[in-house]
Amino acid sequence: MNADVSRKRLHVIQGKFLVSDQPDVVLTTILGSCVAACLRDPVAGVGGMNHFLLPGNANGGGSGEATRYGVHLMELLINALLQKGARKGRLEAKLFGGAQTMSRLSDVGRKNGIFAEKFLGDEGISVVSSSLGGDLGRKVEFWPVSGRARQNILSGNETLKAVAREQPVAPKPAPADEVEFF
């Protein structure tokens, strides 16, 4: 029997984070230009992963919009780890993603990677490994208790599918015959 079969796989989607102290949990995500920060406290035996679309913050956007931004998700992830017994001074990080998946657009992937490295440096959190940049997407698996991480580089077609999932969806306007109450 494959050892991974007994593991509980939890997928971290764009704009979200997950934290676990369970040794059988594997956190997974698929990235294009987005970045995933995998943080853990090896002493407390707890770790987590986030998946953010844009660096910085929402600058006054609503809370739904804020979840796409790195600063918001980094703070949420760190706070959730602290609530599970982690200590900030013991946290270690692994970073993934930040590909330039569309050459005609600004390199938001590079900006995401730079943001994540700077944020963690400013917070005094050591980046023990990273795989940032390039032009192909990645599938990432992270075992939050042990800190083990594995990535698979996606093919060009798989990267295009990942990029399509990363595009922000604008809210649909209400039809003209409907009334919206606030």
Give the CATH number of the domain where residue 44 resides. 3.30.1330.200
Whether residue 182 is contained in a domain is answered as no
Residue 31 domain flag: yes
Q: How would you class 163 by CB atoms within 10 Å of its CB: exposed for 0-12, middle for 13-18, buried for 19 or more?
A: buried
Q: Residue 45 belongs to what domain range?
A: 3-166
How many structural domains compose the chain? 1
177 in any annotated domain: no
pTM for this model (two decimals) = 0.81
Residue 62 confidence (pLDDT): 46
Judge whether 181 lies within some domain. Answer: no
The answer as to whether 77 is a domain residue is yes
Does residue 176 fall inside a structural domain? no
Per-residue pLDDT of the chain (182 residues; tens, 9 = 90+): 344 445 799 999 999 999 999 999 999 999 999 999 999 999 999 999 999 998 876 554 444 555 678 899 999 999 999 999 999 999 999 999 999 977 666 788 999 999 999 999 999 999 999 999 999 999 999 999 999 999 999 887 766 665 666 554 444 444 445 544 44
Residue 91 domain-assigned (yes or no): yes
CB 16 within 8 A of CB 36: no
pLDDT of residue 86: 98
**Entry field: residues in the chain:** 182
Catalytic status, residue 34: yes
The pLDDT value given to residue 27: 98
Judge contact between 140 and 28, C-beta under 8 A: yes
Angle between helices 70-83 and 108-122 (to 10 degrees): 40
Given the residues 30, 34, 81, 145, the one annotated as active site: 34
